[in-house]
Structure 1
Amino acid sequence: MRYFEDFVEGQALELGSVGFTEQGIIDFAREFDPQPMHTDPEAARSSIYGGLIASGWQTATGYMRMLVDTVMRDSSSIGSPGIENLRWLKPVRPGDTLRGRFTVLDTKPSRSRPDWGIVRSRGEMLNQQDEVVMQVEAVNFFGRRSDGRV
């Protein structure tokens, strides 16, 4: 079980990887972001992207899935008040494999809830060329150890 005290400023955790296929990109976009550059390979070829690209939201949900599987599921996670600075820096294309990285920016105990801690982090998705394609900053609340151990 991971508690607030287990997060250290500068700590980076590798989250795993996720692949993007043409059909997966189209299926996600048809349901959640039905724009031609995500749903129609022919129309996408004549767009500024020169081909089909994944919705940024699909990239973000891939990151979230890996974050939950690697960090949140076996933790004292309480929730999050939100994210900041979500940026899609490069297009994600069919055949890309992205890996996720979670980096702790800072931590502090909650003043209003002494049994909670606050972790501010940066999440990144990197493609197979190690280029950052998505970046997000987030704040999460985690429970503290009840016995006071660090």
Structure 2
Amino acid sequence: MDASSAATETTLTYDELAVGDTFERGSTTLTEAEITSFAGEYDPQPFHLDHDAGADSMFGGLVASGLHTYCACNRLATEAFFSRVAFMGGRGVDELRWHRPVRPGDTLSVSVEVTTKRVSESNPDRGYVDVDVTGTNADGDVVVTWTVLGMVRIAA
């Protein structure tokens, strides 16, 4: 199933998802103002706040906080997948990794792939659906990855 072609109004239940289903949607471009604003509020490292400090760092320029990159890509993952399924919440996040820096003007997109699923033994109304989230820049370079351990409602 190519889940990315499903209508956005469709709410998919556990039974309608299969391992290997992929969901893609949208993109976002991080501006310098957004990068420095986020960093000032949540991750005030000099290389996220100041051009000169960024230039003097191992990054060679201003870069977005990894947390900002994660949050921006998580928003896209929510639009692509979590808001389109009968998502009941998460059990955790595993293997969060930043692969390359994100700079002002970078456009990010996301792919979400169902990797495992199993019915809950203790709660018959839900199944456990784990998905890999991959954020890429406009060149197709991977910038961030993580696995969401999710719960999805089983059709009644």
TM-score range (shorter-chain normalised) is over 0.9
* 1:62-101 deviation per Cα after TM superposition (whole angstroms, max 9, x unaligned): 1221122232224321111110000000000011101111
Is 1:42 the counterpart of 2:41? The answer is no
SS at match of 2:79: helix
Q: Does structure 2 conserve the Cα–Cα contact (< 8 Å) formed by 1:15 and 1:102? A: no
% identity of equivalent residues:
34
List structure 1 segments (4+ residues) > 4 angstroms apart after TM superposition.
none
Is 1:23 the counterpart of 2:33? The answer is yes
SS at match of 1:26: helix
Equivalent residue in structure 2 for 1:52, among 62, 73, 83: 62
Q: Which residue of 2 aligns with 1:84?
A: 94
> TM-score, structure 1 length as denominator?
0.93
Structure 1 residues without counterparts, runs of 5 or longer: none
Q: Which residue of 2 aligns with 1:128?
A: 138
Q: Which residue of 2 aligns with 1:14?
A: 24
SS at match of 2:19: coil
Q: Does structure 1 conserve the Cα–Cα contact (< 8 Å) formed by 2:117 and 2:128? A: yes
Greater relative contact order (CA < 8 Å, ≥ 6 in sequence): 1
Q: Which residue of 1 aligns with 2:73?
A: 63
> TM-score, structure 2 length as denominator?
0.90
Q: Does structure 2 conserve the Cα–Cα contact (< 8 Å) formed by 1:117 and 1:141? A: yes
Is 1:138 the counterpart of 2:148? The answer is yes
RMSD: 1.0
Cα distance in 1 for partners of 2:87, 2:46 equals 37
Cα distance in 1 for partners of 2:25, 2:47 equals 28
Q: CA deviation at 1:134?
A: 0.3
* 1:11-65 deviation per Cα after TM superposition (whole angstroms, max 9, x unaligned): 1111321101111100010001000010111111110000000011111111221
Q: Which residue of 1 aligns with 2:13?
A: 3
Q: Does structure 1 conserve the Cα–Cα contact (< 8 Å) formed by 2:80 and 2:112? A: no
| Aligned residues between the structures | 146
